[in-house]
Amino acid sequence: MIKKDITINDVEGFKSIGIDAKLRKEKRENLALIYAKNGAIASGVFTQNVIKAAPVIYNMKNIENENIKAVIINSGNANACTGEVGYQNTEIIAKNIAKHLEIESEEVLVNSTGIIGVQLPMDKILSGIEKICTEVQNHNDKHSIARAIMTTDTKPKEIGVELELDGKKVKIAGIAKGSGMIHPNMATMLGFIVTDINITKDMLEKAFKPTIDKSFNMISVDGDTSTNDTCIILSSRKAKNKLIDKEDKNFNKFKEALEYVNIELAKMIAADGEGATKLLEVNVVNYKNEEEAKILAKSIITSNLTKAAFFGADANWGRILCAMGYSGVQFTPNTLDLYFKSGKGEIKVFENGLPIIFNEDKVKEILLEKEVIVIADFKTGEHSATAWGCDLTYDYVKINGSYRS
Amino acid sequence: MIKKDITINDVEGFKSIGIDAKLRKEKRENLALIYAKNGAIASGVFTQNVIKAAPVIYNMKNIENENIKAVIINSGNANACTGEVGYQNTEIIAKNIAKHLEIESEEVLVNSTGIIGVQLPMDKILSGIEKICTEVQNHNDKHSIARAIMTTDTKPKEIGVELELDGKKVKIAGIAKGSGMIHPNMATMLGFIVTDINITKDMLEKAFKPTIDKSFNMISVDGDTSTNDTCIILSSRKAKNKLIDKEDKNFNKFKEALEYVNIELAKMIAADGEGATKLLEVNVVNYKNEEEAKILAKSIITSNLTKAAFFGADANWGRILCAMGYSGVQFTPNTLDLYFKSGKGEIKVFENGLPIIFNEDKVKEILLEKEVIVIADFKTGEHSATAWGCDLTYDYVKINGSYRS
């Protein structure tokens, strides 16, 4: 697997574009399109929230289509809690895209992120759609789409890799936006991955869904899951590799590369959580089963007390222990070791279920880094899990406490 | 039921005292004793955290004793994650109390709150125990015990009521300390209720435990549950009411008064959450069952986004809806109405599953109050639940992000 500056535009069968359709106050792209002229197979993972935005409901139906040709994304408005009008607007968007690109509306997926409870500014969106459909064929800024889907994100999130399957090149490229919450209302986590791998729809789904459980489902910015969370993968199947139709060696290579792409995007989201000053990684290792290891890791990463302690570079192992203790997992702490680790080194602070004396200056130096790792080693099994998050800061409160107006 | 300035000392059969045993930096009481010379029956509820402090493990065993005569509480150190030495220290404390009060060590309950992972300063505690046991008989400051159990609490929490059962007076008095987290490590929620009601141990437990589910179990400061959370009730059975040995009219009157006491203490804890500027109350009403109504109410009260919005007096109904949506409860929002309410009035912001236009000035006025209520009216059943919490503020991050040293 080679990590390259590969964007959606570099993957055969796809064009991408982001334009400013005046949907947000900031002067930046805010309407995005992925266009697969000859169609793509797709798979998607959608929010578990009972309250689902109109485009999510729309996509959950259309994702089964064997031939997706366009994915439209607007920022600035989530089209959530907007009732029947909101759903009709989603359909109108799909129809307009279809008209301008001369495709079927069932071949369009629609995504929105931004304020909830307000109807989409359809006049601006429809003008934007006309423009974006015209310009997509000859658009040269490969990074404009990653900017267009941003809301409170402070930087665009994109990554691409290339791999070889029996000597044939296959590309994967992805973009994402953060789970932080938009001023004035909630936003969402969105991820879009494209690839040219020659694979069946079944196998694409089989590769994709487990990688979500190890990436986007293992991050937490504030524990809140939104009405619009969506991650979609598309494949143009233009690569020359032998068709993957079972879980063979090439399938595994692809899945591994996909997991890398998704984890990197997920980490970018965690590190760019609202107000965050650092990326936290939690490794629960040598535990008796993976499912519980995941629960333990996520309980630590979502604990406000732990997150606030990391903001203060405080080696507060007690909060980590406590967060595992109330996670619902029944464990015995008497084999547990805890470590803090970063670019400045690694230090053990807890051993076999008991606190130990450690060098406070050293631990402070470790915790002041921008990326900090917590290791919980249970020494009782062969399973591990990793979760990512960020610290809880003054700026988180500031951003989320501010008035909607 | 009459609400009076009734303290533990006013309830027949009990003496209480708080002294400064130099266990904390602040110059304030930090060692507390409840003394029931002629014994009391007891019931307790303890933390669900897998990691339980030594005194919690000790109490879970001794609470079954029919004759509790002393309850000791120290602040400043939680005696959690302290291994066998910690448990032995708990036993030594009980033995010393027993020696000085000339009772059995099995008749003592032991409670600790404060820093975790550090052994108790036994020299100071043992000196304190000698002093407290000597002074308890002739101590006059009825409020010293409520101060002695405080950690990061900004004010003591106490309440008392008197009720009449068939013309006979019965008293209930309680104290509590907050679930906020102590500098430098986690603290805990502690509650101690005493009464003189003539009741069997079985019936005392039957009255007590359900009131916990409606009070202390319905508050959230930061979603973290600690290693030491404990609530204990004692009855001296000195009141002249006819013995309560079944769920009769008098049992229900007592239970109702007990629920009032526990809810008031729980609300004091929520309002005094670390860094909190206001008390939030969430009422989920007219829902189809109580269990799910509770889950919905607690999901709102623990949402960081909702809590931060209330700090900013922001009428962000979208976050409330979202928090219910990810609670795990499957509901349909199409009958749901949302209201904000306070001393300044009440306003509807969401109706039958859709946002409505509301007066922004009015809602701001309502939300700027110190006590704010959210009402989620589902109009689909007869069950309700109430939860309490506080806003998420800069000071929460400051208190919990600060260094341990």
Q: What is the number of H-type helices and E-type strands within chain B?
A: 11, 16
B292-318 pLDDT, tens digit per residue, is 999 999 999 988 888 888 888 888 898
Q: A156 preceded by cis ω (within 30°)?
A: no
More confident residue, B182 or B25: B25
- B106's tokens: 């099995």
Q: Where are the beta strands (DSSP E) in B277-353?
A: 279-287, 337-342, 345-351
| pLDDT at position B219 | 87
Contact call for A319 and B186, based on CB within 8 A: yes
Contact call for B51 and A392, based on CB within 8 A: no
Mean pLDDT of B244-267: 97
The overall average pLDDT reported for chain A is 92
| pLDDT at position A405 | 36
Contact call for A309 and B400, based on CB within 8 A: yes
B368-393 pLDDT, tens digit per residue, is 999 999 999 999 999 999 999 988 88
Between CA A112 and CA A117, with CA A115 as vertex, the angle to 5 degrees is 100
Residue A64 to residue A247: CA distance in whole angstroms = 21
Q: Which residues of B touch A184 (CB under 8 A)?
A: 314, 316
- Picking from A149, A150, A136, the residue whose alpha carbon sits closest to that of residue A102 is A136
> Who's near A231: CB < 8 A, 6+ residues apart?
A44, A45, A176, A189, A190, A191, A192, A193, A212, A216, A262
Instruction: Report chain B's terminal Cα–Cα distance, integer Å.
Output: 47
- B360's tokens: 């922004």
The radius of gyration computed from the CA coordinates of chain B, to the nearest angstrom, equals 22
Please determine, for residue A184, whether its predicted confidence score (pLDDT) is greater than 50. no
Per-residue burial over B127-154, b = 16 or more CB atoms within 10 Å of its CB, e = otherwise: ebbebbbeebeebeebbbbbbbbbbbbe
Mutate to test the interface with B, among A326, A356, A362 (most CBs of B within 10 A): A326
Active-site entry in A90, A152, A188, A227: A188
Q: Is B231 helix (H, G, I), strand (E, B) or coil?
A: strand
Domains defined along chain A, listed by start: 2-271 (3.60.70.12), 279-401 (3.10.20.340)
Instruction: Please report which residue ranges of A136-274 form alpha helices under DSSP H.
Output: 144-148, 201-213, 249-271
Mutate to test the interface with A, among B51, B296, B300, B337 (most CBs of A within 10 A): B51
Residue A13 to residue A174: CA distance in whole angstroms = 14
B117-155 pLDDT, tens digit per residue, is 899 999 999 999 999 999 999 999 999 999 999 988 889
Q: Which residues of A touch B402 (CB under 8 A)?
A: 312, 314
**Does an H or E element contain A162, and which?**
strand A157-165
Residue B178 to residue B267: CA distance in whole angstroms = 10
Contact call for B402 and A312, based on CB within 8 A: yes
Q: Which residues of B touch A398 (CB under 8 A)?
A: 394
Q: Which residues of A touch B326 (CB under 8 A)?
A: 48-50, 224-225
Please determine, for residue A176, whether its predicted confidence score (pLDDT) is greater than 90. yes
Q: Which amino acid is at A229?
A: D
| pLDDT at position B208 | 98
Contact call for A50 and B330, based on CB within 8 A: yes
Contact call for A311 and B401, based on CB within 8 A: yes
Mutate to test the interface with A, among B326, B359, B378, B392 (most CBs of A within 10 A): B326
Q: Residue B393 gets which letter from DSSP?
A: -
Please determine, for residue B184, whether its predicted confidence score (pLDDT) is greater than 60. no
Across A36-45, A253-262, A309-318, B25-34, least confident range:
A309-318
Q: Which amino acid is at A222?
A: D
Mean pLDDT of A269-280: 88
Interchain CB contact of A84 with B (< 8 Å) = no
- A118's tokens: 């307000």
Please determine, for residue B221, whether its predicted confidence score (pLDDT) is greater than 70. no
Q: Which residues of B touch A325 (CB under 8 A)?
A: 49-51, 227
Q: Which residues of A touch B399 (CB under 8 A)?
A: 308
Give the closest-approach CA distance of B371 to chain A in angstroms.
17
A225 is catalytic: no
A106-157 pLDDT, tens digit per residue, is 999 999 998 888 999 999 999 999 999 999 999 999 999 999 999 888 899 9
Active-site entry in B90, B113, B152, B188: B188
Q: Is A248 helix (H, G, I), strand (E, B) or coil?
A: coil
Q: Residue B13 gets which letter from DSSP?
A: T
ipTM confidence? 0.82
Burial class from Cβ neighbours inside 10 Å (0-12, 13-18, 19+) for residue B293 reads buried
Q: B156 preceded by cis ω (within 30°)?
A: no
A97-108 pLDDT, tens digit per residue, is 999 999 999 999
Across A211-215, A322-326, B301-305, B367-371, least confident range:
B301-305
Q: Is B118 helix (H, G, I), strand (E, B) or coil?
A: coil
Give the closest-approach CA distance of B113 to chain A in angstroms.
13
- Choose among B303, B311, B401: nearest Cβ to A314: B401
- B210's tokens: 């359900």
B64-114 pLDDT, tens digit per residue, is 998 999 999 999 999 999 999 999 999 999 999 999 999 999 999 999 998
Q: Determine whether the annotation assigns residue B74 to a binding site.
A: no
Contact call for B224 and A305, based on CB within 8 A: yes
Give the closest-approach CA distance of B402 to chain A in angstroms.
5
> Who's near A252: CB < 8 A, 6+ residues apart?
none
Q: Residues of A numbered 215-254 whose beta carbons fall under 8 angstroms of chain B's beta carbons: which are they?
A: 222-227
More confident residue, A160 or B226: A160
Q: Which amino acid is at B10?
A: D
Interchain CB contact of A314 with B (< 8 Å) = yes
Across A35-39, A264-268, B318-322, B349-353, least confident range:
B318-322
